[in-house]
């Protein structure tokens, strides 16, 4: 796929940050780590990766805004465009030596996500999409969501709340209703990769509550450009503003949404 200039900037930045993360991952037991809250960690690797991403993205597009997990928001001269970045999605996996984590970059234009990159450096999988141009893996394979038609044959992913998050009872309720009807639910601890896996047809759907926009901004575009359906858990809300998201392939979306939205 021939991407736009902005997409090429994003891919280059993700690869550069990924190289830094891989280098630190090889010596993960020696990383300096601090705790932001219960179950919420930040390491030297997160901060180094975000420094790289800010330099690359704002260096190439200095008028754009920037929102990053570790360093917060920078207002840009251009109020219509903003980078939304998670330099290391899956920090807990990373710090425990589990190779399931990603760099996530989205470009927002007038409130809509128009370009997205989710890079898994450990597996060298680069998922990317642009609005209206489809979703791709490693510049070779155009992705489509799964073609499974029945909930009973479907595998879903979610995140289980930790620390002080208040949505654990709702997630347990979701699981108690969904698991008897489906083929399984996975909890891998990296929302951007869960969404990328829905786009790639590896999962049929994904849902999660109490998130930040950098957790899923890129992933939601991957899913929609791969032919999936993206919506809020509470109908009528904007996922990016509400911090809740529900996605699935079109064949199981309605039934899946009904199960998760049931009060």
Backbone angles phi, psi at 83, to 5 degrees: -80, 135
Q: Do the beta carbons of residue 89 and residue 192 sit within 8 Å?
A: yes
pLDDT at 164: 64
Was 215 annotated as part of a binding site?
Answer: yes
- Give the CATH number, domain containing residue 65: 3.30.540.10
Was 89 annotated as part of a binding site?
Answer: yes
pLDDT at 263: 66
For β-strands 245-248 and 184-186, DSSP reports them as: unpaired
**Distance (Å, whole) CA 177 – CA 168:** 14
- Give the CATH number, domain containing residue 244: 3.40.190.80
Average pLDDT over residues 85-89: 97
105 and 210, same domain (yes or no):
no
Was 88 annotated as part of a binding site?
Answer: yes
Confidence band of 30 (pLDDT split at 50, 70, 90): low
34 and 162, same domain (yes or no):
no
Each residue's pLDDT tens digit, 160-169: 887 666 889 9
Was 262 annotated as part of a binding site?
Answer: no
119 and 233, same domain (yes or no):
no
Of 124, 142, 160, the domain-final residue: 142
192 and 247, same domain (yes or no):
yes
Average pLDDT over residues 245-261: 98
pLDDT reading at 21 higher than 80: yes
Confidence band of 3 (pLDDT split at 50, 70, 90): confident
- Among 21-30, 76-85, 150-159, 230-239, the least confident range: 21-30
Backbone angles phi, psi at 52, to 5 degrees: -60, -45
Q: Do the beta carbons of residue 87 and residue 36 sit within 8 Å?
A: no
Structural domain that includes position 251: 151-261
**What percentage of the chain reaches a pLDDT higher than 90?**
78
Phi-psi region of 157 (alpha: psi -120 to 50; beta: other; left: phi over 0): beta
128 and 51, same domain (yes or no):
yes
Closest C-alpha among 213, 100, 123, 197 to residue 155: 197
Count of structural domains, the chain: 2
- Among 186-190, 239-243, 251-255, the least confident range: 239-243
117 and 157, same domain (yes or no):
no
Identify the sign of the CA torsion 87, 91, 93, 98. Answer: positive
Task: Check: pTM over 0.85? Answer yes or no.
Answer: yes
Residue whose pair of structure tokens reads 């791709």 in the numeric block: 136
Average pLDDT over residues 19-48: 72
Of 113, 142, 171, the domain-final residue: 142
pLDDT reading at 38 higher than 70: no
Which 8-state DSSP code applies to residue 212?
-
129 and 161, same domain (yes or no):
no
**Distance (Å, whole) CA 19 – CA 15:** 6
**Distance (Å, whole) CA 189 – CA 91:** 9
Was 86 annotated as part of a binding site?
Answer: yes
pLDDT at 2: 67
Closest C-alpha among 12, 221, 5, 247 to residue 114: 221
99 and 132, same domain (yes or no):
yes
Confidence band of 25 (pLDDT split at 50, 70, 90): confident
103 and 42, same domain (yes or no):
yes
155 and 138, same domain (yes or no):
no
Average pLDDT over residues 173-189: 97
Which 8-state DSSP code applies to residue 228?
-
pLDDT at 233: 96
pLDDT at 41: 47
Using CA atoms of 130, 134, 136, 140 in order, give the dihedral in degrees to the nearest 10.
Answer: -120
Neighbours of 255 (CB within 10 A): 16
122 and 155, same domain (yes or no):
no
Closest C-alpha among 239, 237, 197 to residue 217: 239
């Amino acid at each position: 796929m021939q991407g736009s200039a902005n997409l090429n900037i994003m891919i280059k930045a993700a690869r550069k940050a990924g190289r830094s993360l891989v280098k630190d991952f090889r010596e993960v037991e020696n990383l300096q780590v601090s705790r932001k809250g219960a179950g919420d960690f930040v390491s030297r690797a997160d901060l180094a990766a975000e420094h790289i991403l800010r330099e690359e993205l704002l260096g190439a597009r200095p008028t754009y805004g920037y929102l990053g997990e570790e360093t917060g928001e920078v207002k840009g001269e251009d109020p219509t465009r903003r980078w939304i970045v998670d330099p290391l999605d899956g920090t807990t996996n990373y710090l425990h030596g589990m190779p399931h984590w990603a760099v996530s970059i989205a470009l927002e234009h007038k409130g809509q996500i128009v370009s997205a990159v989710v890079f898994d450096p450990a597996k060298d999988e680069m998922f990317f999409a642009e609005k209206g141009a489809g979703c791709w893996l490693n510049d070779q394979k155009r992705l489509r969501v799964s073609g499974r038609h029945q909930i009973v044959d479907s595998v879903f992913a979610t995140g289980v709340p930790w620390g002080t998050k208040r949505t654990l009872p709702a997630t347990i309720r979701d699981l108690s209703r969904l698991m008897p009807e489906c083929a399984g639910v996975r909890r891998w601890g990296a929302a951007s990769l869960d969404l990328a896996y829905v786009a790639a047809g590896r999962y049929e759907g994904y849902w999660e509550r109490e998130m930040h926009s950098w957790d899923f901004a890129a992933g939601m575009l991957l899913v929609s450009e791969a032919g999936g359906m993206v919506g809020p858990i509470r109908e009528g809300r904007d996922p990016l503003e509400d911090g809740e998201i529900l996605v699935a392939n079109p064949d199981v979306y309605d039934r899946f949404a009904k199960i998760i939205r049931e009060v």
